[in-house]
Amino acid sequence: MGLYVRFRQQNFNAMYVADFVRTLMRHLRGHVVLLWDGAKIHKGPYIEELKRSFRRLHVEQFPGYAPELNPTENVWGDFKSHDANSLPLTKRDILGKLHANKRRVSRSQAKLRSFVLASHLPSPPWLPAYHYLRDTQ
């Protein structure tokens, strides 16, 4: 399990999202399931071309207004809570904190799993301990 992120100062649009996923697909093997919300940056001609280019990419959309299903919300929550009492003074400080959080979280498979387990996604077959953890909570 991994955490793949790209930070930028400007807003993302579909072109940048497609570029990020295209780069990601070059690093990942086999089939890739991408879970997306209904944001505008996840739609349009750049995204359609991306899906046509990578037949092993399977895009699933979250239902509308369901942040509890999205593990990314848990990632951002962790980042925010980790830096809650800090005071970044510049954009460079913020970017440094984002990268530090990414490195910190990426080092821990348990932390990455916890983001998925804390969401209300259906049982993921690639997390063998999932059933045990859910059944004992």
Report, in angstroms and rounded to the nearest whole number, the Rg of the chain calculated over CA atoms. Answer: 16
Least confident of 44-48, 64-68, 72-76, 132-136: 132-136
pLDDT of residue 135: 39
Stretch 66-86: mean pLDDT: 90
**Angle at CA 129, nearest 5°, toward 77 and 127?**
65
pLDDT of residue 48: 96
Q: Does residue 11 have a pLDDT over 80?
A: yes
Nearest CA to 11 out of 35, 40, 38, 36 is that of 40
CA–CA distance, 25 with 81 (Å, rounded to integer): 30
The whole model's pTM is what? Answer: 0.77
pLDDT of residue 125: 58
Q: Which is more confident, 137 or 127?
A: 127
17: number of Cβ within 10 Å: 20
How remote is the C-alpha of 95 from its chain's centroid? 17
pLDDT band, residue 136 (cuts 50/70/90):
very low
pLDDT of residue 100: 95
